[in-house]
Structure 1
């Protein structure tokens, strides 16, 4: 007998070898059809040899079990994981075994009960006659699926339909079993154990009494210490969302399903004093897809802008109700106001457009109107005002109309709830009589082949059609059109003859819009035909050489198109010419102050005309600069120190020089006395004991050049 074989298996269990299902089941009683081992972990224990099992099916059929202590009782809940297994267990029932854990960590058998579903008579006896949920439970236990007709063909669709009926029965049964322990007991999915003692640890085992060979299943167990229910569960946070006569209540599915399998929704219309239940039966919302993380309940309310108070009651697998915090929501007006009628847009002048419309005065919640404009029938439309016009407004003047673009207008009615009633767009025809702005930034050139290029800045007008270029050989002549058609880009290319006495060519540009309105002609651009004849060469006439500079004078080029002159210099005749100065065409003298003494320099001139042609280099002038005498030392001073030594000091700006100190005693001549390097003072430590002593200093440069002797300074020694 199946019961005896399982009893034999459980009779020798110890605490250390018992399989505990200690992990709570998140909504498992509702969805074990699809998942799950979350009800608990089962110990892989071999069954008695008297009842052989098909070990290949182990793991396919499972029973999850969980327990909870309430102090005066312990509620045990379980559920199978497969619909056909569930239907078979309804017929055979389950074996419930309880064992107590004693002090020496061993267990003793308390009782074994065979749990069968209630008969119809037991349902009538144990539940109220108006309990519709109890009737539904009884139907799930004793009802039958719609059979396949005797004359119907057995197809895959028919088989799947029978399977779907079984799946649906199991899912509904698990939801109803969660809602109250009475329903769980009636469907053989739960047990309320009232013969318990506080503080005692109990082990509960659930075994389906099905054929072990057909439905091999491992023993499911759960452990509980009867120390009371503990802190009550709290419902997860709920947030409201307003709609038109509608309030949506939303909460997180992942957080809620870890503790609750279904819900009740209650509403209060008296500020939360009393609540009325909106869900007559436990309410669930299966996920729409794997990414569905939100549970949402929508409640229709009769009145907008009125506060309604709600609370959500989460139903645990043990039939407990966990109320949420009180939530306040209200319905809001989402109905847009009527659209305006007889919308019209008329061009006044320039950039002004008058927009008028009509609107029924009976609409009482209109807050105002917004006028919007677009350049396309499909939009996007941009508002022309920052704040809506008043509800009495029926016209608006747009001062930003763009004549060269399409102008579409809409008027949007706005009600007090900020709902928008859009009108159909209307088109405004604008008479454009104003041309584009004056072209600017003309530049150009004529190269040595006669090629002409003229460029200018692009006009900013979006309706620009193109440009026409006009030219003349004199500013006072009539300008004639050079272009055929209109230039799309601000570039004009042409060619002119260079064999003409008229050296200059004048150009102007006129812009046209798409309505053929011309702009004001641009400023005149003057271009000069290139000159192929180089200017005449300047001639150096005179020069003056000193030890600090070379002064030059020359006769400039006689050509009238000279733009500037280049003064060239070189060190020796073998060196290359270097540009010394760029001078205007009228200058005829220049002083070179960057020379060195005792050096050779060569000078020449080149004239450059307006076309960039250079004259030949003038006949060079070669000069020899004289030897430069260094400047003598100045600011010489001498003082007698307390120790009867003499300190001589002086000033000199040139670095890296050697200074020779001269001394004369009484009427004797000056003699070289001592020297210092790159220093501006000297201390005479061996002066005469007394008398008049004179000092002077001479500077000697690193290249050996010597300056004259400095002024003399005297000191009296006593």
Structure 2
């Protein structure tokens, strides 16, 4: 059963953009899935409608459409399907659900933000009123996106209903009603289900880039798919693995983008291997369409840097010897070189080598007839069929000796984006000046800063600090009175000051036990993250103390058991992020926890694991002499961090794990839970290969 979900979203977006005073109404969409039933979602068209539904909820009704004896149709009375109004789940309940379904985090964040907008503080200025109005529009807009994001999220915010009693052969009318205003209703007719062909992603192609493969496919025939899944395999017929953890929204994530294609970049694992890709569309009810045709591409190495002509010499008065070097990592993948020459820099270049020079050759003597002014280019050719050429290099036979390469003395960038550069003057007397170049990415050709030459041995440049880079590359060449340029200098790196404090991580939850307070957090997502600091203070104190810091490989650790707490004492915890520039974030939102009476509780002992391949399971047994209310079972696969996996009753001492995969190493640990919310110490770990 098809429905153009993109058009629905665009309709809602257009309503949001046209007027904040649009009449209250709802858009109702549906989708039937044979193994589930009839699924319905609704989208408020403005903030007023959203706020009423958010606070009071919705009612969903269904009426049967029956045939009459004369061939007409009659509509039965509407039957309310929900016992209680459909509205958002409470935040505390959501916290518990997130422990088993992390996809609900977006629902939690949305509901928390919506509550702040619906129940704002008293406005004290016209500016704050404008900000509040802008926030209302944003919340209403985001309600449409989180509704379409997933069924679980839509249900969590009260915008989803699953009708399991739906009969595919019957005709119905569904109605959604605002509880706060029963006059605001929207009806939709659902005809008897007829199986139709699912849509297929068309136009999938793969192109080789440096260290990656770019996939693209047509977007104009995929309007039923707001999201996509991308799969890769080393076999064209099986073992496809999904590459995206979250549904992929397309290029820039903009449903209104005018681009005709959508692009996905995949960094392949290794070179010289054939990879196969396919793309599947996902509709607004998480149902996949038909996979695209499989495309194949071989991952080949593309040359990373251009050859660099280092020297030219006059030989026998008229011949010219050219020497160059290449990036060492490129050398194993170079098939050969060609040499090209022109009489002027912008002139037509003639190839001097009918056949490619061997890859090991890094010099060439030009014995052909030539004029006094000569410009050379060396082109390298890769095994993947790619090529890259050097910057041009001039040689005058009358005075063919270029100046020595200048060397930078220092370069510094201040907090206003002003870069001061200083370099040494070459020993030659005929140096006319210098050509200065810069680039943010040394794999691209650097850009010349001035059209002419610089006479002094210093230069003051200005750059924008808004660019997303933390360093800039400069290179310089000297030029003599005969316009002979030296070889470009090696790239000189100038650090760009980071004056923006990093964004912080956040504390997710805590657990109080008789051993201490166990804290869990999420690290900051900044690209130059250096350290995460966990701070603590007694609630009545003012100053925080750092109790735990992670750095380097330890940044993978995102939990800490604070055992230095005192019984019946309340503590405040927060996080601080430190970046590579030594800047610190503001304190994260504080978590307050009270340490109850501390007591050492014995850990679970005698943990054993038995593999039964016949029954396709792993049996766990353990010993624990004390009474427990339950057992928390942790599991990891292939040396990943341990995570909460299952819970067992306090009376049992065994567990059967049937959700396992062949050729996988599993590690288990069991923690006892006792009355009062206490837990035992982390106990023995057992590892087994299935």
TM-score with structure 2 setting the length = 0.48
* Higher Rg: 1
TM-score with structure 1 setting the length = 0.46
